A and B are shown apart, each in its own frame.
Chain A
Amino acid sequence: MLGLIATGFLASAIAPVLYKRYRENFGWIAVLFPLYMFFGFLSRYPEIAAGNSVRESLPWVPSLGINFSFLLDGLSLTFALIISLVGAAVFLFAGAYMKGYRDAGRFYLYIGVFMTSMLGLVLADNMLLLFVFWELTSFSSYLLIGFNHHKESSRKSALQALLVTGGGGLALLAGILLLGSVTGTYEISSFYDMNRIITSSALYPAIVVLLLLGAFTKSAQFPFHFWLPNAMEAPTPVSAYLHSATMVKAGIYLIARLNHEIGGTPLWQDTVLITGAVTMLFTATLAFRQTDLKKLLAYSTLSVLGTLVMLLGIGSELAIKAFFIYLIAHSLYKGTLFLVAGTIDHETGTRDVGKLAGLRKAMPVTAAAAALASFSMMGVIPLIGFIGKETVYKAILELDRWGLPLIGAAVLANACVVMVTLLVGFRPFLGKAKETPRQAHEAPLKMLLGPSLLAVLGLLIGLFPDFFISAMLEQSARNILSEELSLKIVLWHGFNLVLILSFVTLLLGGLFYALRPVVLRYSFFSSLPALFKPSSWYESALKGMLSFAKLQTLILQNGYLRNYTIVIVLAALIPASFALYRAAEEVSIIPDYSITFYEAALGLIIIISTGLLITSTSRLKSIVSLGVMGFSIGIIFVIYGAPDVALTTFAIETLNVILFVLVLQKLPKFLKLSRSSNRIRDAVIASGIGVFMTLVVLFATSFNISTELKEYFAAASLPEGKGLNVVNVILVDFRALDTLGEITVLTIAAIGVLAMLKTATGRKAQP
């Protein structure tokens, strides 16, 4: 499977080159890649259905527990099949749809990277590897939403999606690391039996919150749902693929994958259940005021995502069954409808439902595919959507707690979805044809094949559910609940409460559709107060962050050199003194007060010269003090057996004094610039540093140090360096490269000095 992923990235990389060559026909070539993946996964189907799973692992960073490990089991196979099948439809569709775009080659690169990462995500058996693919999908989603990068709204939506899902990704990473610290491994298959260990850990609540934050942002759950409708700025194939069929299901995949390992507690189940239910109902009602085909579909997608999350929260056998059927059904019909919306947009030039009608004559095949998918979306027998909705209702009715309010919410939400379907799937095709910006005609074969195929598949699975998906569902359910389930799926359950609810849903949906113009006239739905709109929370958070950054810059980056110095000095001094204080407890410093006359005199000279340097108002006096100080330090080197250092110091101090005098002689006296309060503050900080450094030196000299190097150099100097002066031998032989670097630095400094002294002063400052 690693080979598959690597091939995927490689193929994406060469896609732009191939596109340049084949242009018009590239869609037919591109589709081979997802198709190959699809049939590859399909060939594993019998093996997985028999209850086996395939695991591959290759060490990547073994010391950190990061491996290229992949696992193909029922759950990952289900997702992989959806990803590659919808991928095939989308790639082919894009071949015709993207024709007018300038950078279509780049589009294939992005979407190829996305598909590969998405497959990697669902196949990964290592949490950290999963995280890498998770971020790659966010990243490719960013590039794809912002594909029309010349439009400001595209860029803004892309950034919004990236910030929301990326922020969630960070939470996910933190959650993964905590999980790893509890279990001691990052391999998902090793967690399998650790439910008790994980749920009893003190870190468990933090793990749950962080992981769910990641999952909810990715799958656009309330209150993070706002990025998804905005992501409709992307070209339609992207919306169909990433923002309805695959990427937004990554969070759901994560919840499903980890349900057995860290679920089963009230915290996990209730959080997931409530978030899902709120999302399902809330986002469905938001669909009322939409007129754009894609936005309508986006809000219904949100509602379905909420339903899926809710089902995982319920967590019963029936709920998991419903989850799978609904998942597959949604991918098939929503993929179709998005592509149909793209076709309509492409052929007529508008996506406004108010301006579209009577397209069935001009576009009969599209209309048929749309109708088929719409029936599935509404839950009409005999399509897979019908089975999905029936099972969802059954799973909810089974609940003791929450049962009644939840079924009400589900029926309402589904009625809104029915309304969306009527608006998107039927209204553009029925009635009398209207004038559209472009003369409508049937789309090319490339744009028809994908949606039709997905729609027909929805019908086939609805008719023969047992044949198509039963075996896969059994295995998938085993990954989520760890129980062997016998999931008999049948189309017809007989006349019962659930069927009645289905009818009620359809009727309500029809009613909503009829009432929609009336409701819209009253501005109740047209604008929510900002306080209740999570998107405005996002806006103000973004604004707050920017103004905070500005404030921070004003405080820290204010142009006063001494403020920078103070910040740096204090940031080093405070923690370092703390560390010194802690370490000094173990040492007793025995000071050696013995002192000779000339040492005392030398010390006194240095002290006087520093005093003069600080207080003097004459430049020349300061320079002389500096010179005296340098020479005194040179004498200290002489006393302690460092004649070479002393010689260098004398030479350089002499040069320094000459240079200073030459440059500074013509300048006026010092100005007294600082206020005295500043002087006192600076004196306090400086004394702090002084005391600290004194203590550090005393502390450092109270230990015995290793003399190994000293002895080595003393012994090796003559035989290996052929020199008697060990210091010189070190400089020109043992550490000759250092000296070479030093010479280079000096040369560069000399060039700099020359350049500054020789060139004329540049432009005069503006008056």
Chain B
Amino acid sequence: MRVLLPVIIGLLYATGIYLILRRSMVKVIFGLVVLGHAANLMIFTVGRLTKGSPAFVPHGATGIAEPFADPLPQALILTAIVIGFGIQAFTIALFKKTCQSLKTEDLDEMRNTDQLEKESP
């Protein structure tokens, strides 16, 4: 698993980036979700893996004996997951609104605000 997990992380990143580069807006949102997974898993892995022993203080003791999983990356990921969900919910709602008002989900058709004004001929 020490090798499999980095490979899975790489795969998730690749999938996320590929989806974000699509023209369809839904796929871009999927890409965001996948990238979120990738980042969380990466923080988790880089913080070192410990199998089967969560950071719980046993009853009656004051501390935990090694080995136990590092609680700090977990806390960080928890925050990230929840905020990630906020972003997803927002983009999904935004997507719905966009489709309703523009009748398209093709990002290439939503670029006139970023274009320089056409020179008058």
Contacts and interface: CB of A to CB of B under 8 A. Distances in A.
A655 B33 CA distance: 13
A239 interface: no
A667 B96 CA distance: 10
Given A641-B54, A727-B74, A559 B112 contact: yes
A644 B78 contact: yes
Contacts, number: 289
A483 interface: no
Given A562-B23, A639-B52, A727-B75, A714 B115 contact: no
Contact of A745 (B14, B38, B86, B107): B86
A467 to B, nearest CB: 67
Contact of B92 (A660, A671, A735, A762): A660
B8 A606 contact: yes
Most central of B71, B72, B97 by chain A CB within 10 Å: B71
A197 interface: no
A704 to B, nearest CB: 9
Given A622-B30, A626-B33, A752-B93, A645 B81 contact: yes
Contact of B14 (A641, A687, A707): A687
B115 A595 contact: no
B27 to A, nearest CB: 7
The residue among B34, B84, B85, B99 with the most chain A CB atoms within 10 A of its own CB is: B85
Interface stretch (A61-69, A89-97, A694-702): A694-702
A718 interface: yes
Given A629-B34, A673-B22, A714 B71 contact: yes
Contact of B56 (A550, A724, A750, A753): A724
B24 A689 contact: no
A690 B102 contact: no
Interface residues of B, number: 95
Contacts of A726: 55-57, 64, 71
A624 to B, nearest CB: 12
Contacts of A626: 30, 33-34
Interface string A480-495: 0000000000000000
A614 B19 contact: yes
Contact of B45 (A697, A725, A731): A697
A599 B88 contact: no
B62 interface: yes
Interface stretch (A358-366, A401-409, A586-594): A586-594
Contacts of B112: 559
Interface string A161-198: 00000000000000000000000000000000000000
Interface in B1-54: 1-15, 17-24, 26-28, 30, 33-34, 37-38, 40-42, 44-46, 48-54
Given A592-B2, A689-B13, A710-B71, A757 B81 contact: no
A715 B19 CA distance: 43
A126 to B, nearest CB: 45
A622 B15 CA distance: 13
A765 interface: yes
B82 to A, nearest CB: 6
Interface string A587-630: 00001111110011001001100100110000100100010011
Contact of A761 (B62, B63, B97): B97
A640 B115 contact: no
Given A622-B30, A656-B85, A746-B83, A690 B13 contact: yes
Contact of B38 (A643, A693, A718): A693
Given A730-B71, A746-B86, 17 more contacts: A562-B20, A593-B2, A614-B15, A614-B18, A614-B19, A639-B51, A671-B106, A683-B18, A691-B10, A693-B42, A713-B72, A718-B61, A718-B63, A742-B83, A756-B94, A761-B101, A764-B101
14 contacts: A559-B112, A561-B28, A600-B4, A637-B44, A640-B69, A641-B50, A682-B18, A687-B14, A697-B6, A698-B6, A701-B45, A738-B79, A749-B90, A752-B90
Q: Which 6 A-B pairs have the closest CB atoms?
A: A559-B111, A690-B14, A694-B10, A641-B69, A559-B114, A749-B86
Interface of B: 1-15, 17-24, 26-28, 30, 33-34, 37-38, 40-42, 44-46, 48-59, 61-64, 68-72, 74-75, 77-79, 81-90, 92-97, 99-103, 105-108, 110-116
